[in-house]
């Protein structure tokens, strides 16, 4: 079985895909003798969603290796160059040569300490990758519930980290003993940059861009250019125009070939100044530009580490909401509105009786409020909550071929085996729920919504066609 990589993020995916494929391919084999095929299918599909779970620590590990390699290469090159200079110099004294070589030995000892520290970091990250592989390998049908509970906590920690609730995320990870299964260290790196941008400082963000320059260039990122533009804007805001011009020549001019329009727009602020009322240039001086940089950094950071651009919590919620979102609750509102407009408003649009106008206005408001989706939706439906509706807004409607009746009390499906029954007040519940209630209350039924009390014999069976 092959895992399809997510369409976002950069870097090599071959190694991670191979590793994930090995894990997912071995799990069904181990449990095939004792586990139903439906359970195995569920496990396989679940593990397909764990691409980010393995990709992030692996990308972090590769980044550490590259950083350690660059450090070693730079230091060794400098030492070799210094030794060559000493060897080629005919005028250097013996004492100066010894002093120079002693400083080089000290430099190499410093490099050794850095490499040892880097090696320890690499080993910890390898252990982190191994812990995640072991976690995926441990899943089977018997512990699926517990494993899903851990996954749920991982998803919550991921959401908290993305929303900058770092301390809360750390406490949840520590209390659940899942530190190796979440990306606390990776997001701690991002926290420094995010905090600096919120304080209107671009230094840490520019350092991050320099550290990841080759990968950002490969993904055609504009983040460094946006940082440079913002730094230029701040110089103009401070009325330091000469320094702004020198800054533009040094840092913005190289971007002219690819981002000429944005560059021309920002350079014009030298003439309009920060107190301009021209909307086109005034927006460049607004504080929300820093919020835009924070969001843009997060998107680049997610891509760089192979993360999904949306929080995992949103993705999982939308997957469930897509099955619940149907056009029927929405269409009822539009149908009622159209009906009232055609049959009530149009016939009386020219009337002169003010009292009749008031009555019809109140009638229109009452019926629209009664049949509006938000008020008419049952509280058990997630789409009754505004935040869930926002998540479901871009999703397509679920394709429902047949209506399904779910009991309000037991949340079970009502069908021919468990038929619906109607109370005298018109509310419908499943036979199973009403029988259990009648057995516990000497044949009495109490409606959980209205409080109506009636006998079990007063119920009327409803038929589904």
Q: Judge whether residue 438 has pLDDT over 70.
A: yes
Q: How far apart are the first and last CA of the chain?
A: 42
Banded pLDDT at 330 (limits 50, 70, 90): very low
- The predicted pLDDT at position 294 comes to 94
What pLDDT is attached to residue 84? 82
**Average pLDDT across the chain, whole number:** 78
C-alpha 408 chain-centroid distance: 33
Asked if the model's pLDDT at residue 439 lies above 70, the reply is yes
User: Based on the domain organization, do 19 and 134 belong to the same domain?
Assistant: yes
Q: What does the pLDDT average to over 153-164?
A: 90
On whether both 25 and 96 belong to a single domain, the answer is yes
d(CA 159, CA 313): 6
How far apart, in whole angstroms, are the C-alpha atoms of residue 167 and residue 155?
Answer: 16
Give the torsion through C-alpha atoms of 323, 324, 327, 329, to 10 deg. 170
Q: Is residue 4 part of a domain?
A: no
Distance CA 190, CA 99 (A): 42
Tell whether 35 and 129 lie within a shared domain: yes
Same domain, yes or no: 387 and 431:
no
Angstrom distances, CA of residue 105 to CA of 76, 83, 110, 215, 342: 11, 11, 9, 34, 92
Q: What residue numbers bound the domain in which 360 lies?
A: 325-392
- Residue carrying structure tokens 């252990």: 127
Confidence of residue 406 (pLDDT cuts 50, 70, 90): confident
- pLDDT in the model for residue 292: 95
**Is 3 within the bounds of a domain?**
no
Q: Is the pLDDT of residue 339 over 70?
A: no
**16-20, 101-105, 274-278, 455-459: lowest mean pLDDT where?**
16-20
pLDDT digits (tens, 9 = 90+) for 200-241: 999 999 999 998 888 899 888 999 999 999 999 999 999 999
| Mean predicted confidence (pLDDT) in 366-383 | 53
| pLDDT of amino acid 380 | 61
Is the pLDDT confidence value at 374 over 50? no
Of 88, 120, 142, which closes a domain? 142
Verify that 265 and 379 share a domain, yes or no: no
Sign of CA dihedral 131, 133, 134, 136: positive
Report the C-alpha gap between 405 and 361 in whole angstroms: 35
Question: If you ran DSSP here, which 8-state letter would residue 396 be given?
Answer: P
278 and 224 fall within a common domain: yes
The predicted structure's pLDDT at residue 403: 67
Considering only 125-134, 295-304, 387-396, which range has the smallest mean pLDDT? Answer: 387-396
Contact between residue 443 and residue 455 where contact means Cβ atoms under 8 Å apart: yes
Average pLDDT on 161-188 reads 90
In angstroms, the Cα distances linking 423 to 290, 376, 436, 460, 465 are 59, 20, 15, 7, 20
pLDDT of 312 reads: 86
On whether residue 157 sits in a domain, the answer given is no
Assigned domain for 257 exists? yes
Considering the domain boundaries, does residue 176 fall inside one?
A: no
Q: Is there a domain that residue 253 lies in?
A: yes
Pick from 67, 305, 296, 286: which is nearest to 193 by CA? 296
Residue 124 or 329, more confident: 124
199 and 105 belong to one structural domain: no
Average pLDDT over residues 328-336: 45
Residue 268 lies in a domain: yes
* 124 and 232 within one domain: no
Structure tokens at 411: 């949340």
Distance CA 288, CA 199 (A): 12
Residue 454, pLDDT > 90, answer yes
Q: From CA 312, how far away is CA 185, in angstroms rounded?
A: 18
Looking at the fold, whether 125 and 18 belong to one and the same domain comes out as yes
Instruction: Indicate whether 40 belongs to any domain.
Output: yes
* pLDDT higher than threshold 60 for residue 314: yes
444 pLDDT band, cuts 50/70/90, is very high
Stretch (H or E) spanning 147: helix 144-162
Shared-domain flag, residues 416 and 367: no
**pLDDT value for 101:** 82
For 71-91, write each residue's pLDDT tens digit: 888 888 888 888 887 777 777
pLDDT, position 78: 85
Same domain? 93 vs 43:
yes
Torsional class of 9: left (φ above 0), alpha (ψ -120 to 50), beta (otherwise): left
Answer yes or no: are the C-beta atoms of 378 and 448 closer than 8 Å: no
pLDDT over 50 at 354, yes or no = no
Single residue among 271, 304, 337 that ends a domain in this structure: 304
Helix axes 37-48, 14-31, angle to 10 degrees: 160
Interval 356-382 mean pLDDT:
51
Q: Considering the chain, what percentage of its residues have pLDDT values greater than 70? A: 74
Same-domain pairing of 374 and 442: no
- The half-sphere exposure of 265 on its side-chain side, counting CA atoms within 13 A, is 15
Strand partners, 405: 414
Find the CATH number of the domain harbouring 452.
3.30.40
Contact present, 217 and 254 (Cβ < 8 Å)? no
Q: How does residue 315 score in pLDDT terms, banded at 50, 70 and 90?
A: confident
- CA–CA dist 289, 294 (Å, integer): 9
DSSP string, 41-64: HHHHHHHHTTHHHHHHHHHHHHHH
pLDDT band at 4 (very low <50, low <70, confident <90, very high): very low
**Digit-coded pLDDT (tens) for 263-275:** 999 999 998 888 8
Which strands form 428-430's sheet, in the order they lie side by side? 428-430, 420-422, 460-461
Q: What is the mean pLDDT of residues 392-401?
A: 68
Cα(168)–Cα(157) distance, integer angstroms: 8
Write down the H helix ranges in 268-353.
269-272, 279-282, 288-304, 312-324, 327-340
What is the total count of domains within the chain?
A: 4
8 A C-beta contact, residue 297 and residue 194: yes
């Amino acid at each position: 079985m092959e895992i399809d990589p997510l369409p976002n993020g950069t870097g090599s995916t071959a190694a991670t895909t191979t590793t994930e494929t090995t894990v997912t391919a071995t799990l069904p084999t181990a449990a095939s003798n004792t586990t139903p095929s439906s359970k195995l299918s569920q496990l396989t599909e679940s593990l397909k969603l764990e691409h980010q779970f393995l990709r992030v620590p692996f990308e972090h590990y590769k980044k550490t290796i590259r950083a350690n390699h660059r450090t070693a290469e730079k230091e060794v090159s400098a030492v070799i160059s210094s030794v060559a200079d000493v060897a080629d110099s005919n005028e250097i004294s013996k004492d100066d040569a010894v002093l120079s070589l002693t400083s080089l030995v000290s430099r190499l000892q410093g490099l050794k300490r850095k490499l040892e520290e880097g090696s320890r970091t690499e080993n910890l990250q390898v252990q982190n990758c191994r812990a995640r592989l072991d976690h995926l390998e441990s899943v089977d049908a018997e512990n699926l519930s517990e494993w899903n509970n851990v996954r749920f906590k991982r998803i919550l920690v991921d959401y908290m980290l993305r929303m900058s609730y770092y301390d809360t995320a750390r406490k949840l990870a520590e209390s659940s003993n899942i530190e190796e299964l979440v990306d606390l260290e990776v997001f701690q790196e991002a926290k420094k940059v995010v905090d600096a941008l919120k304080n209107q400082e671009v230094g840490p963000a520019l350092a991050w861009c320099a550290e990841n320059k080759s990968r950002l260039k490969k993904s055609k990122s504009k983040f460094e250019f946006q940082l440079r533009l913002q730094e230029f804007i701040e110089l103009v805001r401070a009325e330091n125009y000469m320094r702004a011009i020198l800054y533009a020549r040094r840092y913005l001019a190289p971007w002219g070939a690819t981002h000429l329009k944005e560059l021309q727009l920002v350079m014009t602020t030298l003439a309009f100044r920060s107190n301009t009322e021209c909307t086109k240039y005034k927006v460049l001086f607004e504080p929300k530009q820093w919020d835009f940089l924070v969001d843009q950094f997060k998107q680049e950071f997610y891509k760089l580490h192979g993360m999904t651009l949306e929080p995992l919590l949103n993705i999982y919620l939308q997957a469930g909401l897509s099955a619940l979102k149907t056009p029927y609750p929405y269409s009822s509102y539009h149908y009622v509105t159209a009906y009232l407009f055609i049959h009530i408003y149009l016939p009386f649009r020219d009337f002169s009786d003010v009292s009749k106008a008031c009555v019809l206005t109140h009638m229109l408001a009452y019926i629209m409020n009664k049949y509006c989706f938000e008020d008419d939706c049952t509280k058990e439906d997630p789409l009754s909550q505004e935040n869930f509706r926002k998540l479901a807004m871009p999703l397509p409607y679920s394709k429902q071929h047949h209506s399904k009746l779910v009991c309000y009390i037991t949340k079970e499906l009502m069908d021919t085996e468990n038929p619906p029954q109607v109370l005298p007040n018109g509310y419908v519940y499943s036979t199973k729920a009403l029988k259990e209630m009648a057995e516990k209350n000497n044949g009495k039924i109490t409606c959980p919504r209205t409080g109506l009390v009636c006998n079990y014999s007063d119920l009327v069976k409803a038929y589904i066609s």
